[in-house]
Structure 1
């Protein structure tokens, strides 16, 4: 697992990295996002959605847990925060192993459902506009994706 770090100076830069990553993703790809509240996870996700051609407004699915969007590929946005101690089966596997791109916020709460191959992204809040994005790939395929993204 290799780590790559990128610093962004503006919300637009954070969104643009998400948009560029989306252009490299394929059916079945999974991305996990970590970071404190307000770190920029939803901002990054909006960039992914834009890059996948999603036209609807993207917002955090905190209360619905899963939001589905149509674009170049189906886009599934999962917020696992409220699943920390849940035993309820809500069909996560159908999304995570489905026919689209899945992004999961607070993925540590559903570790048992996550595929081994994925991109993990930690977003660190530096100040109001600046963020540090730390990308970790878990496979050769995703390492190639990250190399293309960050070249």
Structure 2
């Protein structure tokens, strides 16, 4: 397996549980031990009640496309062979919003589309989160046609 693009630091103590969850095909985010608020990105204190620390909890890896952008010029030369590609913010059914790449055709994306997570192993230690549009058929990755934000 050869992946020549930038990789996250999966050993960062603040986000290690998130990356470990992705390796295990789980979406896990922080929950405040005091007020119960779910949060992402990971933080050392709760933005709602300012309590320190958090527990990590699994959440359903489904949500709604809240916003997205289609890159027609690569952000980095490492991604030049993938243009056009989309990056989107998905509002999880559990509440928090996650930013990640979207797999599939970029011209079928529509804000409000139902999304589900896919896990892509890109190295022996790194699994990345990708979003795909939910499809009523046996294949995932279809989606609704309509306007998109380029």
TM-score range relative to shorter protein: under 0.3
Which entry has the higher C-alpha Rg, 1 or 2?
2
TM-score (norm. length: structure 2)? 0.25
Between 1 and 2, higher relative CO (CA 8 Å, sep ≥ 6) is seen in 1
Give the structure with the larger helix fraction: 1
